[in-house]
Amino acid sequence: MKAKEMTHTVKALFAGDKGLLAMDESIPTCNKRFEEAGIPQTIEYRRKYRQLIVTTPNLGKVISGAILFDETIHQSTDDGVPFIDMLKKAGVVPGIKVDEGTMDLAGFPGEKITMGLDGLKERLSKYFDMGARFAKWRAVITIGSVIPSRGCIEANMHALARYAALCQEAGIVPIVEPEVLMDGAHDLKRCFDATIKTQHILFDQLFAQNVNLKWLILKPNMVLPGLSYAKPASIDKVAEATVNCLLQSVPPVVPGVAFLSGGQSAEDATAHLNAMHVKYKGKLPWALTFSFARAIQQPALEIWKGKDENVAEAQKMLYFRASLDNAARRGEYTPEMEK
Ligand code: 5MM
């Protein structure tokens, strides 16, 4: 077990007020975002876009780790520098998404199971040799009138725990991402109930699979009402519900929690993270940071539009959003900073 390596990785990922950038959209997800922004959906445009991200000036001042997708980890800049080397040079720890997406879970209508355990041991060893020092696996939990079912949660959390054990064996810090989706008309209480149940089962499975929690990062959803629920919750209410949920389910030995944004606006995701730090500063056993994809990338993607002449402006926006998330980690973010 590469204990020293993993201890070093965890420390680097939570350093200062930095956080993680999820740039691990699979080809269909990346193409979907490109289509919405009117950008051609080709391998070359995906490369150009990821090049824009990894060459953002001073990226390492605001981002501690970047989660790559398999296509991206093999790509290079126009000058032939592998993206993974660009990140390392910038002081950003390279990570890799290793799940292989979801499929319908047999016997559980409306629910999904994440694939990717077959051959994972070999893939992890290859990624370690390439320089990846952490990995990510996302499980998807859907709220509906009679779901999530216990069967779906258990199957997904078991897979997450098996993945995490394999990562640690390879010297790679696992990020476990049990995402309770925002889709739906449910209220905040149903999200809280589904999230706490999911996290309890997750830590039970991690224990059963001998995963060492000191080399593990949790990437959860924040506790929010569904996207089509009539009344939005206040910033403080979301912060309180999210931290209460974590306090009741996440053991203190876990070094840190890095939230996904899940379809919130960039401003909301930042404000929620900030409110957690304002209210609970110095009172929590783990570090709280961000591991956003859309909440950091989306405004930059909309500026870029696939055009070379927009790269510098888009990079400024990417850096700006990440710096606001740094401020949120310090509990110093204010909406006025958006101007
Ligand atoms: C939930 O998605 C993760 C965080 O992104 P947001 O902050 O936008 O919610 C993200 O890392 C996600 O896992 C990747 O974008 C890959 O998603 P797909 O669906 O392509 O596997």
Give me the average pLDDT of each 10-residue run along the chain (339 residues).
95 98 98 98 98 98 99 98 98 98 98 98 98 98 98 99 98 98 98 98 98 98 97 97 98 98 98 98 97 98 98 98 98 97
Structural domains of the chain in order of their starting residue, each with its CATH number: 3-338 (3.20.20.70)
Count other Cβ atoms within 10 Å, centred on residue 321.
25
Q: Is the CB of 260 under 6 A from ligand 1?
A: yes
Q: Which of 179, 219, 237, 281 is catalytic?
A: 219
Q: Is the CB of 112 under 6 A from ligand 1?
A: no
Q: Is the CB of 294 under 6 A from ligand 1?
A: yes
Tell me how far the alpha carbon of residue 108 lies from the centroid of ligand 1, in angstroms: 23
Question: Is residue 307 within a helix (H) or strand (E), and if so which, with residue range?
Answer: none
The C-alpha atoms of residue 220 and residue 257 are separated, in whole angstroms, by 7
Please report the pLDDT score of residue 179 as a whole number.
Answer: 98
The tokens for 249 are 């389910």
Atom of ligand 1 nearest to the CA of 259: 7
Q: Which of 177, 281, 316, 339 is catalytic?
A: 177
pTM (predicted TM-score): 0.98
Residue nearest to atom 17 of ligand 1 (CA): 25
Q: Is the CB of 19 under 6 A from ligand 1?
A: no
Q: Is the CB of 262 under 6 A from ligand 1?
A: yes
Q: Give, for ligand 1, the residue of 260, 268, 270, 297 to mutate: max count of ligand atoms closer than 8 Å to Cβ.
A: 260
CA nearest to 256, candidates 20, 4, 3, 92: 20
Active-site residue flag, 111: no
The C-alpha atoms of residue 225 and residue 238 are separated, in whole angstroms, by 9
Residue nearest to atom 14 of ligand 1 (CA): 25
Query: 192 near 141, Cβ under 8 Å?
Result: no
Tell me how far the alpha carbon of residue 179 lies from the centroid of ligand 1, in angstroms: 9
Please report the pLDDT score of residue 1 as a whole number.
Answer: 74
DSSP string, 9-68: HHHHHT-TT-EEEE----HHHHHHHHHHTT---SHHHHHHHHHHHHT-TTHHHHEEEEEE
The C-alpha atoms of residue 83 and residue 220 are separated, in whole angstroms, by 27
Active-site residue flag, 219: yes
Tell me how far the alpha carbon of residue 69 lies from the centroid of ligand 1, in angstroms: 11
Q: Is the CB of 26 under 6 A from ligand 1?
A: yes
The C-alpha atoms of residue 46 and residue 325 are separated, in whole angstroms, by 25
Q: Is the CB of 257 under 6 A from ligand 1?
A: no
